[in-house]
Amino acid sequence: MRRPLSYLVVVLAALSLGAGCRPADRPPAERSSAESASGAGTPSRGGQIVIAVRTEPQTFNRFTRRDAATDLISTLINAKLTRINRLTQDVEPWLAERWTRAEDGRHYTLTLRDGVRFSDGHPFTADDVLFSLEALYDARSDNVLAEAMKIGGKPLKATAPDVRTVVLEFPEPFAPGLRLLDNLPIIPKHKLEPALRAGTFAAAWGVGTPVAEIAGLGPFVLAAYVPGQRTELVRNRHYFRTDERGTALPYLDRIVVEIVPDQNGELLRLEAGELDLTFSEIRPDDYAPLRRAADAGRVRLYDLGVGLDADSFWINLKPGAFAGDPRSAWLQRDELRRAISLAVNRQQFADTVYLGAAVPVFGPITPANRKWWSPAVPQTPHDPAQARQLLASLGLTDRNGDGTLEDARGTAVRFTLMTQKGRTLMERAAAVIRDELAKIGVIVDVVLLEGADLIQRFVSGRGYDAVYFSVLTTDTDPAVSQDYWLSRGSGHVWNLQQPTPATQWERQIDLLMDEQMHTADEARRQALFEEVQRIFSEHLPVVHFAAPRVYVVASSHVTHITPAISRPQVLWAPDIIAVRP
């Protein structure tokens, strides 16, 4: 799944499960590779950290929203049956301690951990798994996770022979197997069943819900929410995991998630020691002052290399979005998007926007995703002359010699580009796109919106021309990101959740992705996805210019963090984060 939101989040090699017993019966006390990755010495219990996010959560119900803040809170308060280790990219046992796969490749029998309780003390059983899947697929709930949890558009089925056993039936063989379950937070039946039965699940656990009403299986529990300011969480005393010494996790007593919309303010607070971690990217501009702070021992700075996610530019391709608009003859045409791709100098874009701390890219899969990135995918050259020729083929020419293109009616070739206010890189990128397109006679009006307003605008599919934003990868295996690739997907940002493919090329991608996700042969899967990327590069529903390097910064008193290139780079393993006494 992709999250714009969040992004759309993240994301290297697929794991195909073998038939028979999976060596997944690791007890909670056993230390994972992630837990030994950083932080010298024995971690201390207690203390708190303060995390900065750009926007407030839209809800506490991850099933119904995909924004970054909602996803972060879900990571802290919820748990899943299986988890993708962001360091190794392997599937790990989590609420399910082990599993087996039948010879047909479609049936998995999962054994749940014994004695697990929700944060309110209520026992966790197989009924909660069945309920979570029922809520996931409920047609009344406008569920943003559902498409990523379907195979060929069909839901998984589940039965529970007893309270600790769940049998999952996939509608068809699915190459990534239980990797899919990293998309599914398990929610409490005893809390949310009334809302589901009443048809109000989509509104359940909104930000106005008393925090005491919200229960989860994750390491933390909501303690307070102050709109527009912060969310406070405290340790879940019923959390199921322990470390190798038998010490109950999480180590931290408290996490405060503060809303800091301005990145300059965030930097100042990091340097002053008022923040411990950030959920957003560290700008290249901030590297030098943070390096000085690291040399002074106030923070630790990590360079994780080129990231898995490239920021994205797209034009609203929803049919009828520009009905009655004289620009409708050209605004949604492939030729316009190809011209934009040709007009922007990607190396200059990387150097200007990211101060050189990025690499040019030509599609949504970056070189960091070594298994699925292909050098055979066409790479658009910088060619403004060809861009002008494409625009001329649409009847867009400079009719009066003032440097601005017009259509046959004399309407200026002009559109509005929205991006997120307060995110320096996005603001700078939008300005570069505006200036580059001005050179070929296209006028771009940049509009800055608050994150929640921006998301709502393009999710609606109405009232916008174009967007520059972050679409985050949740998994490196494209079969798990099907809600981005498939036309019916809720992450198909240029035209969300199409009942039938709006174009022939989207229909082609649907067919290729359906085969790709059902094929066990890895070489065949790679060939199919390479063809998907080729079609994508031909029609360019989303244009990508550069993939930035990923920097992570943490206060020097934070220990046992496990930075990974896939998002969330640090907070994917919040239960093992500690602070110095």
Distance CA 202, CA 490 (A): 15
Residue type at position 493: V
What is the overall mean pLDDT for the chain?
A: 89
Contact indicator for 10, 279 with CB cutoff of 8 Å: no
Reported as a pLDDT band with limits 50, 70 and 90, residue 195 is very high
Assess whether pLDDT exceeds 80 at residue 19: no
According to DSSP, residue 207 is labeled T
Tell me the chain's radius of gyration from C-alpha atoms. Answer: 24
Reported as a pLDDT band with limits 50, 70 and 90, residue 374 is very high
Assess whether pLDDT exceeds 70 at residue 20: no
**Residue 206's CB: how many other CB atoms inside 10 A?**
14
**Phi first, then psi: what are they for 348, rounded to 5°?**
-65, -40
**Residue 152's CB: how many other CB atoms inside 10 A?**
16
Reported as a pLDDT band with limits 50, 70 and 90, residue 38 is low
Mean of pLDDT values over 408-419: 95
Assess whether pLDDT exceeds 70 at residue 437: yes
Give the pLDDT confidence of 214-234 residue by residue, as tens digits.
999 999 999 999 999 999 999
Q: How many helices (H) and strands (E) does the chain have?
A: 13, 26
Give the pLDDT confidence of 441-472 residue by residue, as tens digits.
999 999 999 988 998 899 888 889 999 998 87
Assess whether pLDDT exceeds 60 at residue 6: no
Tell how strand 414-420 and strand 466-469 pair up: parallel
pLDDT at 581: 84
Contact indicator for 94, 154 with CB cutoff of 8 Å: no
Residue ranges with strand state E in 422-567: 443-449, 466-469, 472-473, 542-544, 546-555, 558-559
pLDDT at 40: 58
pLDDT at 538: 97
